[in-house]
Amino acid sequence: MLLLTCPYCGVAAEETELAPGGEAHLARVGPEGTDDAFHAYLFEKENPRGVHFERWRHAMGCGKWFHAARCTVTLEVFGTYPAQTTEPPEHIRAAISAKRPGWTWRDLA
Partner 1 sequence: MSEPASALGVARAEGYVAVAELPPQGMISVRGDLSEEGVAQALADASGAALPGVRGITHAGETSLAWMSPDEAMLFCGYDEAEELAQALREALTGAHALVANVSDARASFELTGARVREVIAKLAPVDMERFALGEIRRTRLAQIPAAFWMPEEGRLTLICFRSVARYAFDLLAKAAETGAEVYAR
Name the site residues for partner 1 (rule: CB under 8 A).
8-11, 13-14, 16-17, 59-64
Give the three-state DSSP class for 3: strand
11 vs 26, beta carbon nearer partner 1: 11
Shortest CB 78 distance to partner 1, Å: 22
* 79 phi and psi angles, rounded to 5 deg: 165, 165
Shortest CB 8 distance to Zn ion, Å: 5
Under a CB-based contact definition with an 8 Å cutoff, are residues 9 and 62 in contact? Answer: yes
The enclosing H or E element of 53 equals strand 51-57
Summarize as ranges the residues that interact with Zn ion (CB under 5 A): 6, 8-9, 58, 61-62
